[in-house]
Amino acid sequence: VGGRRSFPPGSDKDWSKDINTKERKKAIRSAIAATVDKNVVKMHGHRIPDNYPFIIDTSFESFENTKQVFDAFEKLKLTAELERSAQKTVRAGMGKMRGRRYQKKVGPLIVVSGACKLVNSARNIAGIDVVAVSQLNAELLAPGAVPGRLTLFTAAAIDKMEKEKLYA
């Protein structure tokens, strides 16, 4: 009496998709090239300063407090971008009832050389992502498959990318 169904539908389906290595690296290279172009970044909706394509100092990776990160963004004239990424809107449609009530803007991406204190200090700022240069992917550089995200590279990340010939 009772028992189980003979061959019920299982929940063990693998939803991940593989992509060719050369194709993935080419996508990352083209997304990095789009982050350097000022017009493409503006078309993506970011509010950037006039001297946009710049590299930030390696000491940026050692920030321990969120306030230090905020002050650094003020000095880089990116306060308008932080205000833009802090806004959230109510989603249209049925997604409201399915746990996706709010839509949030994507803000700056900070690329660092490796594990550092900045990862913890910047995670409380809305829209900001911090990623190690070795873990960079096309989804972070071009969210929603739209290239041109505002990306800030540290000097150590650029050196590591050149030295290890990542994505080449």
What single-letter amino acid sits at 151? Answer: T
* 108-164 per-position pLDDT tens digit: 999 999 999 999 999 999 999 999 999 999 999 999 999 999 999 999 999 999 999
Distance CA 15, CA 41 (A): 31
Q: Do the beta carbons of residue 133 and residue 111 sit within 8 Å?
A: yes
For 75-88, the pLDDT digits (tens) are: 999 999 999 999 99
pLDDT band at 39 (very low <50, low <70, confident <90, very high): very high
Assess contact for 141 and 147: CB atoms under 8 A: yes
Question: Is the predicted pLDDT of residue 6 greater than 90, yes or no?
Answer: no
* Contacts with 144 (C-beta within 8 Å, 6 or more apart), sequence order: none
Residues, the chain, total? Answer: 168
